[in-house]
Structure 1
Amino acid sequence: MGDIKTSYDERLLGSIERISATLRHAERKVADVIMTDPEQVMSLSIKAFAARAEVSEPTVLRFVRKLGCSGYSDFKLRLARETAVAKMYIDAPSVAANTNVSDIVTRMSEAAKAALDQATNELDTQVLEAIATALNESRRVFCFGTGGTSAILAEEAENRFFRLGLSVQATSDGYRQQMTAAVSGPGDVLLVFSVTGRPTHLVSCAADASANGAKVIAITRPESPLAEQAHLVLTMDTVDQEAFYNLPNQARYAQLFALDCIAGHLAILRSESAENLSRIRLTLSRLHGHVERQPIGD
């Protein structure tokens, strides 16, 4: 029973819980140290860990290999990645028990304000101006994103830009993105949103489009694989200071702010913007009558 092993894809803490009934006495001591304080374990050398668990170093190595790790360093790396994501769920019961509606409203407001403040301080106005100019001079604009936040921002970019007279399309479908990059060329612009700058298919699309003569613009993390493939990069490096399951990704506020700034400057550059928005407003007014405080263009 002690030889049960876990797969690499299974979460470490879940693996330990699953095999806990099969563990020998020394292995259970190792497991107890990990489960009691996984974050503290990440700072321990194997010697310090063995001392805390009151077992030998070979016992620690055997245990982490049973979890599917190649060694102690690999174990700590995987544990660090897991706890960074899982902490919000591990802490969820205690967070929920001590949180009321007012706390949630305050937390959301503070997260949004912090993201906007950071984005404002980091925004490179020269790059923003260059991006707006490239969009204004483009033949076609393709907006790409993947996942929840970035895919939604790509759709929002299409929604903003078509009103200003740009020929623009948005897609979050990976195959469609690859095909679009393949047929792009001089005069085209790829506007790519990504919080991390790491999705491999977006990086591939950027490389293909660039090779075909299109201009690649990225709103993403600096020095990321996507940023390296882009001609223009508006860096967004918003980092969530809290990791709770009920706190939204602050990057969405930063990305939306960046898009607002781009669209605002683009509207100034395009002489037909006011006329387009006026025609849109008149068309909608004929449909449902005049509505007070209706957003421009809606």
Structure 2
Amino acid sequence: MPDQSFLARVRRKLPELHPAERRLGELVCDFPGELASYSASELAALAGVSNATVTRFVRRLGYKSYEDARRDARDEASSGSRLYLQHAGQADMADPESYLDSDIRNLRDTIGDVSRDDIDRLAEALLAARKVWCVGYRASNSLATYLQWQLLQAIDDAVPVPGGGQTMGEHVARMTERDVVVLFGLRRRIAGFDELLAAIAATGAEIALITDEGVAANRGAGWHFRCATRSSGPLFSHVSVMALINLITNRTIELAADSGRQRLQSIENYNDLLREL
């Protein structure tokens, strides 16, 4: 089973396990973060089984040792699976104050690291670009679309990709050194994300990379904004990403000066004419 993920191994073996091992397997399926975080003795105590049961369990999964299994679990946790954010016996997550506290911390950690110079350089590049590509998959797709929608207040040609049924190859083939690509790489990233980034870089387009805090600083991108996404619940928080988009788009409109104001006025005139607002 060398090509199977840790959780896939557990789910496949679960029906074959003895009762104590199955109880342990069910706990791991519900809360895989426990194995990624705890020692074998701690996990045994949490599941109410013996240390020997833990040892038999990981061997049935095809691992030589508990540490080998935990290494695989940690690798999956770093990939961004929301399952790894849940823990058995976790405190009540319904308290709005806990979400408020984590989101405020995310905002401070993210926006506090953003320099005025970086935002100004990006805004100027966006305004000067032949075309602005807003790229995102999964959760990042809606954020890329939101960025494009806001940029339309100041920029003629901004597009969100990929759309339904499209491949990125169709778009990368049309990118040039006169373009700016805002690439969202928030957890969970697609398997080919690094290849996509390299392909875009090869076109000569300027790249603004927006990722979660778990991605190492990318010196090859023109800009790399790392957003804190911690949450009190099982889902990642994108509050800081929205704040960053707000900062980028507002500054772009400001630097557009007269042309930006004229464009906004034209948009409002057509909104009135078409009775869309």
Does the 8 A contact of 2:187 with 2:212 survive in 1? Answer: yes
- Measure the CA separation in 2 of the matches of 1:62 and 1:223: 33
Counterpart in the other structure of 1:19: 16
1:171 equivalent to 2:153? Answer: no
2:67 pairs with 63, 73, 97, which one? 73
Deviations 1:43-73 (A, max 9, x none): 4369x98xx9364xxx865541311335432
Deviations 1:233-261 (A, max 9, x none): 1222x14153x34xx522x1111111111
Structure 2: where are the runs of 5+ without partners?
Answer: none
Does the 8 A contact of 1:154 with 1:193 survive in 2? Answer: yes
2:151 pairs with 151, 157, 161, which one? 161
RMSD: 4.0
Q: 1:254 to 1:41 in 2, by over 3 A?
A: closer
TM-score, structure 1 length as denominator? 0.70
1:44 pairs with 31, 39, 57, which one? 39
Higher helix proportion (structure 1 or 2)? 1
Partner AA of 2:72 in structure 1? R
Give 1 or 2 for the bigger CA radius of gyration: 1
Identity percentage of aligned residues: 16
- Measure the CA separation in 2 of the matches of 1:229 and 1:141: 19
Partner AA of 1:152 in structure 2? S
Partner AA of 1:153 in structure 2? L
TM-score, structure 2 length as denominator? 0.75
Counterpart in the other structure of 1:86: 83
Structure number with the bigger relative contact order (C-alpha 8 A, sep ≥ 6) is 2
1:283 equivalent to 2:277? Answer: no
Counterpart in the other structure of 1:295: none
Q: 1:153 to 1:54 in 2, by over 3 A?
A: closer
After TM superposition, the structure 1 stretch with the greater mean CA deviation from structure 2, 217-226 or 163-172, is: 217-226
Partner of 1:183, secondary structure, is coil
Query: How many residues are paired up?
Result: 263
Does the 8 A contact of 2:132 with 2:182 survive in 1? Answer: yes
- Measure the CA separation in 2 of the matches of 1:204 and 1:43: 34
Map 1:184-203 → 2, pairs under 5 A? 184-196=175-187, 198-203=189-194
Partner of 1:240, secondary structure, is coil
Partner AA of 2:15 in structure 1? R
Q: 1:15 to 1:92 in 2, by over 3 A?
A: farther
Partner of 1:227, secondary structure, is coil
- Report the CA distance between 1:31 and its aligned residue: 6.5
1:260 pairs with 223, 246, 250, which one? 246
Partner of 1:218, secondary structure, is strand
Structure 1: where are the runs of 5+ without partners?
Answer: 290-297
